[in-house]
Amino acid sequence: MQIIKAPAIPKLPKLMRVAAYARVSSGKEAMLHSLSAQVDYYSKFIGRNPGWEYAGVYVDEAVTGTKDSRPGFQKMLAEARSGNISLIITKSISRFARNTVTVLNSVRELKSLEVDIFFEEQNIHSLSTEGELMLTILASYAQEESLSASENQKWRVRKNFSEGKVGSLRMFGFQLKDGQLIVVPNEAEIVKSIFADYLSGMGVLAIKKKYRSLGYTFSNNGIAGMLRNEKYAGNLLLQKSFKDNHITKRKVINIGQLPQFYVADSHDAIVDCSTFGAVQAEIARRSENYSPKPKVEERYPFTGLIRCGKCGAPYKRKHAAAGSKYEKIVWICDTFNALGKTECDSQQIPEDILSAKVAEVGGLERIAQIRVPGHNLLAFVLDDSSSVEVKWAHPSRSQSWTPEMKEAARQRQIDRMKAKEI
């Protein structure tokens, strides 16, 4: 019998896994439209190349160009480290990052992983011979350009302040139109009522609860800030805060570092000057009568890490049933704790159970955030942007009893039996 050897089937060439990165620097509608357009463009661009395999478009809507503040950027780096990306396409160096150090550190790390980055605007591949030298020069240029733009913007803002003009403002009771504050009538009535409520003796928390029942969600700080805001009396105090630099853009309270500008009778008032002055006097009077001890901020391993999945409020640490034999440490939704179950029917979580579940998913160092989406459920967002849902349950009462509690219960049962016999 003649055996005919079949020709070998040629191996198909391995497709290059290609991703794209896009970022816009603010939450304005036009910028978000630009982000959507970039995602659509890159998805189609990668899909049209027969030698490429689509590896995703990673996006960020951010106020800074620093690496650590961008979850999309971090997720893309994690995928590259896992070997799931061969090429990254991005519009320009400034879109990738505005900080020279951030650009070069990211490029060098990806280069060590043999991941190429193509910057369309500059027509540079990071793995090319001249790539890093050109990137160093262009990244420095991009950073200086960002600094220049930032300084120009600051100059315009301060010039407007010196002329009594407001550039942008979001404030309950007013809308900004052509640089002027215009009173919003229905919101103005609420503002007047809040000032009157405070003068009648109500505290900030009581005011918050009152208007929450009417459908207005004010925070404690929001109400306290409203009562102190000179704009409601028709005046302007400008440059109360400023951004520290063009990279981090961290907001800093102005306590004398820069000049402030006060403009009297700059717009229509919502509350008259006498009412506003009376409220300031009442705030001062209450402050004198209430002199709390200096508050020392206590930080715990879970502080700032847990968010309620129902109302979005942070969870705080609390001693439940303090002073009783049932005392235990729990973590509780701030809304539920302050306003009750009618505002948020979330569930408190015993700290020992929380610690045990954290250990199950690999420890606290792996966790970026913990969300509480529902009863007896925890959702852990990990440092690689993946998420894990874990169920938990309260231990049975018998498991939580100490030997002393069990003995006391046994004695009570014996006493009841003796009473029945008598």
Check residue 152 and give its pLDDT: 54
Write down the residue that tokens 């894990």 correspond to.
388
The Cα 93–Cα 99 span in angstroms is: 9
pLDDT more than 70, % of the chain: 70
For the stretch 368-386, pLDDT in tens is 889 998 888 999 988 777 7
The Cα 308–Cα 316 span in angstroms is: 10
Task: Kindly state whether residue 34 falls inside one of the protein's structural domains.
Answer: yes
Q: Are 239 and 328 found together in one domain?
A: no
Task: Kindly state whether residue 279 falls inside one of the protein's structural domains.
Answer: yes
For the stretch 273-327, pLDDT in tens is 899 999 999 998 888 877 555 555 567 888 888 999 888 888 999 888 777 777 8
Pairing of strands 367-374, 377-382: antiparallel
The Cα 24–Cα 94 span in angstroms is: 10
Q: Are 380 and 319 found together in one domain?
A: yes
Q: Are 193 and 272 found together in one domain?
A: yes
- Contact (CB, 8 A) for 77 and 106: yes
The Cα 18–Cα 51 span in angstroms is: 10
Q: Which amino acid is at 275?
A: T
b/e map 28-60, b = 16+ CB within 10 Å: eeeeeeeeeebeeebeeebeeeeebeebbbbbb
Can you name the residues that pair with 26 across neighbouring β-strands? Answer: none
DSSP code at position 15: P
pLDDT more than 90, % of the chain: 19
Q: Are 211 and 274 found together in one domain?
A: yes
For the stretch 149-187, pLDDT in tens is 555 555 555 555 455 456 556 789 888 887 778 889 999
Q: Are 225 and 198 found together in one domain?
A: yes
Task: Kindly state whether residue 171 falls inside one of the protein's structural domains.
Answer: yes
Q: Are 51 and 119 found together in one domain?
A: yes
The Cα 362–Cα 382 span in angstroms is: 9
Check residue 27 and give its pLDDT: 53
Q: Are 92 and 214 found together in one domain?
A: no
- CATH code of 189's domain: 3.90.1750.20
Which range scores top for mean pLDDT: 50-64, 195-209, 247-261, 400-414? 195-209
Check residue 298 and give its pLDDT: 63
Point out the least confidently predicted range of 27-31, 81-85, 288-292.
Answer: 27-31
Domain count, the chain: 3
pLDDT reading at 138 higher than 70 = no
Torsion of CA 89, 94, 95, 97, to 10 degrees: 90
- CATH code of 138's domain: 3.40.50.1390
* Domain limit, last residue, from 116, 146, 176: 146
Q: Tell me the average pLDDT across 401-420.
A: 74
Task: Kindly state whether residue 409 falls inside one of the protein's structural domains.
Answer: no
* Domain limit, last residue, from 89, 112, 146: 146
Q: Are 168 and 134 found together in one domain?
A: no
* Domain limit, last residue, from 79, 111, 146: 146
Q: Tell me the average pLDDT across 338-352.
A: 85
Check residue 262 and give its pLDDT: 62
Domain with 94, as residue range(s), is 16-146
Model confidence at 89, pLDDT cuts 50, 70, 90, reads very high
pLDDT reading at 191 higher than 90 = yes
Check residue 67 and give its pLDDT: 43
Model confidence at 410, pLDDT cuts 50, 70, 90, reads confident
Task: Kindly state whether residue 367 falls inside one of the protein's structural domains.
Answer: yes
Pairing of strands 180-183, 251-253: unpaired
More confident residue, 403 or 26: 403
Which range scores top for mean pLDDT: 5-19, 64-78, 271-285, 395-409? 271-285
- Within 32-115, strands assigned E span 52-61, 87-90
Check residue 142 and give its pLDDT: 58
Instruction: For residue 250, give the nearest of 416, 121, 69, 382 by alpha carbon.
Output: 69
Task: Kindly state whether residue 98 falls inside one of the protein's structural domains.
Answer: yes
Structure tokens at 286: 């209450």
Model confidence at 362, pLDDT cuts 50, 70, 90, reads confident
| Count of Cβ atoms closer than 10 Å to residue 193 Cβ | 14
Q: Are 201 and 127 found together in one domain?
A: no
Check residue 400 and give its pLDDT: 57
Q: What is the mean pLDDT of the chain?
A: 78
More confident residue, 366 or 243: 366
Q: Are 355 and 383 found together in one domain?
A: yes
Task: Kindly state whether residue 3 falls inside one of the protein's structural domains.
Answer: no
Q: Are 258 and 334 found together in one domain?
A: no
For the stretch 99-108, pLDDT in tens is 665 677 788 7
Q: Are 136 and 167 found together in one domain?
A: no
For the stretch 263-284, pLDDT in tens is 677 778 899 989 999 999 999 8
**In sequence order, what DSSP letters do the residues of 324-377 get, joined into one string?**
STT-EEEEEEHHHHHH-TTT-----EEHHHHHHHHHHTT-GGGEEEEEEEETTE
Task: Kindly state whether residue 406 falls inside one of the protein's structural domains.
Answer: no
Check residue 294 and give its pLDDT: 54
